Chain A
């Protein structure tokens, strides 16, 4: 019984240990995307959602309703396209 409990505990700890990692990744990605949008001179008060479409290709939704397609084109330029 004891080993079973400890295994369960370990699983829980592992899960909670990894969660902050993913959250931090999301946060910094959101920050990156928002800064990219701002650098292109487009409005985005707060990024509420971002969806990865592929490598270096995202769709971002802002709280103010603006949606953007952010990607790197073949020439290596970061493109922010309003949707």
Chain B
């Protein structure tokens, strides 16, 4: 009888041991802070080729100009042009599980006053400079209700980007840096007389989006698809000084 009990206990323990393997993903966020000294031979898994960026700014680093002033809080302003009568936001996906991307350690340094105002109550996180998420849905109408739903979509996309486990902490931060650089380039452009984004800017935007999609396509295909389908909508915001000013 006693042996039976011990055997049962062992079975339970081994089951728990197996279950603990699945839970590893949750620690992704905190990894940066508490990483166990990663010893050696990290088996490399299928990392997408992550197209080498021509962006001069980042690898040589310390382009610190943008850092403190990069509020890329994509929130409210996202009016896609074609206004269908239905103000519903069809593509708004179920809000993701609240995984804390704690690894995004320092720079949550966004002011994002506007974003904070329009952010839906559910997403209480500080507005970061993730990809300016776009309305995945053609929603707008002149009333305020559609605007709210659009903001919700944007925030949701942004939130999902921040919470996805398909991208590691360092990678997310690196992407955020590049998004900030791009937004700064747009800001600079709109300060000048010529408000038309150059082909070079469009190329940078496309490249950045490509990187995001490459990183997401294996680990989070739904989010990748949603971002891919929002490509033009996001660009329409960036390329329009008025819309961009509202970001």
> Hey, which bits of chain A sit against chain B, CB under 8 A?
2, 6, 9-10, 13-14, 16-18, 20-22, 24-36, 38-43, 46-52, 55-56, 58, 70, 72-73, 75-81
Contact = CB atoms under 8 A, between A and B. Distances in A.
Interface string B198-230: 000000000000010001000000000000000
A45 to B, nearest CB: 8
A78 B178 CA distance: 10
B210 to A, nearest CB: 11
B173 A14 contact: no
B43 A6 contact: no
Contacts of A80: 59
8 contacts: A14-B17, A21-B20, A21-B21, A26-B42, A36-B170, A39-B171, A42-B59, A77-B64
Interface in B19-71: 20-21, 23-25, 27-28, 31-33, 35-45, 47-50, 52-55, 58-59, 61-64, 67-68
B91 interface: no
Contact of A72 (B6, B20, B173): B173
Query: Considering residues B38, B63, B107, which has the most beta carbons from chain A within 10 angstroms of its beta carbon?
Result: B38
A33 B38 CA distance: 11
Given A38-B50, A39-B50, A79 B42 contact: no
Interface residues of B, number: 63
A78 B104 CA distance: 11
Contacts of A6: 6, 9-10
Contacts of A18: 17, 20
A26 B68 contact: no
A78 B21 contact: no
Given A25-B36, A40-B174, A76-B106, A49 B42 contact: yes
Contacts of A14: 13, 17
